[in-house]
Structure 1
Amino acid sequence: MLRTLVDFGAGEEILTQAKPHVGSDRLRLVLINFRRELLRLGVEIRFGTCLTGLTIGAGRLQGAVLDQREEFPCDSLVLATGHSARDTYGMLAEQGVAMESKPFAIGLRVEHPAELINFIQYGHRRHPKLPTAEYALTYNDPDSKRGVYSFCMCPGGEVVLAASEPGGLVVNGMSNRLRSAPYSNSALVVTVRPDDFGAIDPLAGMRFQRRWEEAAFIAGGSDYRAPAQNLLGFLGRGKGPLNSSCRPGVREAELRQVLPPFVSSALRRALPHFERRMRGFITAEATLVGVETRTSAPLRILRQSDGQALHQSGLYPVGEGAGYAGGIMSAALDGLKTAEQIAATAINRSRR
């Protein structure tokens, strides 16, 4: 899979990196090249088209409904939506597709000057032979019995908005290939469980995410600026400036208002532990930005051993959106396994 990415435009270095990094800027070129190859192979790509229903008979998929008007006959449908396709989740629930809530994690993004993280990790703010420094932090909170950890660390990157619905605000992080931006950021998140959601239906986790995203939107001024707070202020240790790469900007807010109380409390207990691991992590130079809720899918679409949906043969839920992957590589592996299963099913069918 790494070789395929390189063949379509990723840098050769990902073949030997311990943590392969294509770069958000280079990934755009890779996707364009993927699309060109698919078109060359005869694939039809429909932009601006929504899957709005499934045609199912006798427990087997017979077709897909597009934009509530076009029926598209098919006997195999790979459902690879990503973990934020909430309209699709709702449609699947209405169609009776078996799903269940699953744990995930929510929290905030923390930004430090990249040179500060370099100094903490290397003892050098800038060194010509060293890459922009990374870190990974974990803490098991004894009070709440929850994991607190850094996630999707982006050295020399930026915080980006990732809202998929009006009236909600979500942050994420990215780094370009060279990782040369002035700030480094990471999510700091706390595990949440289905019993935190206030309901037992499969969509409860999705509604839980939405509640805190809407709170973040309001706290940021309802104009898609992200709520932010100096790290010292979040800990009640003083004040400091808000230095953030997030565009269109940030607005100072009390971030405890945009998180469940048990999440903000666990973060405040974890940060001194992180400081002991990385001296200088707690600093007036650090800014927290909220809210990060899309660490993984809030539900899992139940599958049989052959990859087909539990009660709908022919429907193949795949990747992060199905609740079975957590990144580019694991989603690609899940997709490859699914393609092999569909091919094997087609071969067996042709032999009968």
Structure 2
Amino acid sequence: MAGNEKKPTISDIARKAGVSIATVSRVLRGSDYPVKSEVRERVTEIARQMEYKPNIFSQMLRGSSSREIGIVAPSITNPFYAQLISAAEQECLKRGYIPFICSSMGEPQLEMNHLDMLEDRCVAGILLSSMGQREGIVKRLNELRIPIMLFDQTLDSYEGDGILFDFYQGAYLSTEYLIQCGHRDIVFCSGPINRYSRRAMYEGYKQALKDYNLGISKKKLIGAISEPDTYGEGEYQLGKALGQMLLERDYLPDAIVTINDITAIGVINHLYSEGVQVPHDISIMGFDDISICEMVTPPLSTIHQPAFDTGKLAAKYLLDKIEGQITEPVRITTKPVLVERKSVRKIHRKVRR
């Protein structure tokens, strides 16, 4: 279609097909309203020939009910959350819903404010990756009269719908892999352990040490008391701060388990700037498996968390609930997968697969 041509409308299609505008609208919306099959085929073919593109934003405004889906996540700059949100966004648009994306930027109060705002907008549903740090967050979610689906993280004592991840097992696998590679002095590097995912990871890390008869002590927790303000970029700065904390110890540990890939990359770069080489001097495991893990030096060994699948499934099940296609509770936990690259030194070659 030439750039200066008028875009075809439903009225144009109706005129050419010899039917009413209402009939065209019903056909193109996939309505269950009875329309003869030959009419349905004729309208669909004419719409295709005219290269008609429905404006789902206009459809939403004309509709009697909201077509907006609120998506609330801690960050839009961290590649993991960007992929999570993108997958959810694609699923919403594919099914005729408008994603309304909100970043809490790691601020629990801002997360609560977003929930209030989305409730005021009367959105059709909410996808939430919660910080889980605000007192009363579970009570607030239970009060919402809007379908809500947690994704990525759950909340302590929350029993609602969610597409979640086994953070405990992910950290266990990460720690176990380091042990199998011959490492014994393994530390856990994290920001404040004040949300569900970090608590679960720390417990998984400790359990792996216990199962292999390795010592557990608070000295093996390298943790920053606070994190920089900007959540996505702040995770990289957190990694650099944790790297400095490691250098201030009397000696370096054999290996590090970190809370996510961005933090791990921050640790690696800070250590490198001080002459410490990964994995020659120290091994490190990331967590998430974002795309840049293969682009950094050394390529980062990590735990794969299926961000795209999580975002897509969460949106799908939320929309199914909104449309009444399912009524039973949704509680799915995806499983971690170990990804071996080059940031872990294998002291012992015999590594159990």
- Per the normalisation by structure 1, the TM-score is 0.27
Query: Which structure has the bigger radius of gyration?
Result: 2
Which structure shows the bigger proportion of residues in strand conformation? 1
- Per the normalisation by structure 2, the TM-score is 0.27
